[in-house]
Amino acid sequence: MRKLRAARLATLKAAWLVDQRRANVIESSMAKIASAEIAQEAGMLGMEIVGLEAGAGDELIEKLFRDARALNIVEGKGQIQRAIIARQLVGLPR
């Protein structure tokens, strides 16, 4: 619950900065990382709760888990966002 709340608050802060017309590159990248990781963790916990039936291919929790997993694995989203944050913090060009 704590991680979910942290991801939600990071997302709300990034959105608030957009509303204020302020730079939000770091905050939005942090929100993307946190949200993708907690979605994957929640999907994994859901798969554990449902058990072997979840791997049958027709369960919603399996689809949600695969979608969350794809955010980090297929696109390499976490590494890209971390690189964006690092470049912003040290002042490197894009």
Tens digit of each residue's pLDDT (9 = 90 or more) over 35-89:
888 988 998 888 888 876 666 667 788 888 888 888 777 656 788 888 889 999 9
- Map out the domains of the chain with their CATH numbers: 2-90 (1.20.140.10)
C-alpha distance from residue 45 to each of 4, 79, 87, 90 (Å): 13, 23, 33, 36
Please, which pLDDT band fits residue 94 given cuts at 50, 70 and 90?
Answer: low
Closest by CA to 29, choosing from 7, 1, 2, 5, is 7
Q: Is 75 a catalytic residue?
A: yes
Catalytic one of 41, 48, 53, 75: 75
User: Whole-angstrom Cα distance, residue 85 to residue 14?
Assistant: 13
Closest by CA to 38, choosing from 79, 80, 68, is 68
